[in-house]
Structure 1
Amino acid sequence: MKGLYSILLLSLSNLFMTFAWYGHLHLFKKMAWFAKLGLFGVIMISWGLALFEYIFQVPANRLGFVENGGPFSLFQLKVIQEVVTLTVFTLCAVFIFKTDKLGWNHVVGFALLVAAVYVIFKKW
């Protein structure tokens, strides 16, 4: 269960991260008050969103880490984080930001990430 909770918390963390890092590039520009903000204002709002990223990310890693009773090593946590990051980002880019379409090259890239997960988790 700790592994599942860790992945769910990482997913929430990445949702906030995606909006903190990329929301201002497209989605937030549609809000009149946000469009008037200067770079410093955008940075402050992104920083505030990133706070929530860390509120979920730190407990996710602590919960999932093997030395804290979780099922994952540091390498495994990092690879899980990368896959979750790209999954959440892709869903946001395609369905929320609506700036990109999912192409064959994305699918191939994700398949390679799944292969990376397999290699990292494989006991040799």
Structure 2
Amino acid sequence: MIQHNFRKLNIWKEGIQVVKETYAMTKVFPKEERFGLSSQLQRSAVSIPSNIAEGTSRSRNRHFRQYLETALGSAFEWETQLIVSFEVNYLSRETFDHLSEKIQKIQNQIIKFMNSLKD
């Protein structure tokens, strides 16, 4: 049985940073988005490190990979919501570019980590 300490994983730490930046970003969204796009961004952001953490509790790497796949899916969902936020002019180009780069880095890190896990 292989156990990972999620607090030591860079992908988890990076995920936490996305959560923090998401909450800061959505504070300036219009009030009518509180239960719409803001909520979706926040939920998908929180899902990234949450699934990584939950996956570390699994006794087999193939089960851990399933949680990493879910985290990866949430990262792609979050990226899509980020694009929508930019397209409807809720974000500056600078913020969009910064966060796009950050989420793509996390996506690549998750993929590499998944590929490194042996059964």
Per the shorter chain, which TM-score range?
0.3 to 0.5
Instruction: State the TM-score, normalized to the length of structure 2.
Output: 0.42
Instruction: State the TM-score, normalized to the length of structure 1.
Output: 0.41
Which structure's CA Rg is the greater one? Answer: 1
